[in-house]
Every structure is written in structure tokens, then in C-alpha cells.
Amino acid sequence: MTPPPPRPGDQASPPRRRPLIAGAWLWVGAPLAYGLYELVHKAKQLFTG
């Protein structure tokens, strides 16, 4: 059986890239989490308002 072909950047990230990946996702994830928190808070009003 032929293994699936590799894809760009698909190989395991070198250890020195992992903090960069984590930091980048945190950079965009933190404000998004804040927006989602506010959204859930507001959406609850549909059931309680």
C-alpha cells in the first residue's frame, strides 16, 4: 500500500516552531474567546429574557 503523499508543512513542526504556533493561536484565540463569552452571555437572554 502506498503511503499518502506529504503536504506542505504537514510534517511534525520542529520543536522551535511550537511556541510560535501556540503564541500565534493564542493571539487570535484570546479575543475570539472574549467575543464568544459575550455572545453566550447575550444569547442566554433568549431563554431567560
CB 13 within 8 A of CB 21: yes
Q: Decide whether 1 or 5 has the Cβ nearer to another protein.
A: 5
Smallest distance, another protein to C-beta of residue 1, A: 15
Q: Decide whether 1 or 11 has the Cβ nearer to another protein.
A: 11
Cα–Cα distances in angstroms (integers) from residue 19 to residues 8, 9, 11, in the given order: 20, 16, 16
Summarize as ranges the residues that interact with another protein (CB under 8 A): 5-11, 13-14, 17, 20-21, 24-25, 27-28, 31-32, 34-36, 38-40, 42-49
Which long-range contacts does 33-41 make (Cβ < 8 Å, 24+ apart)? none
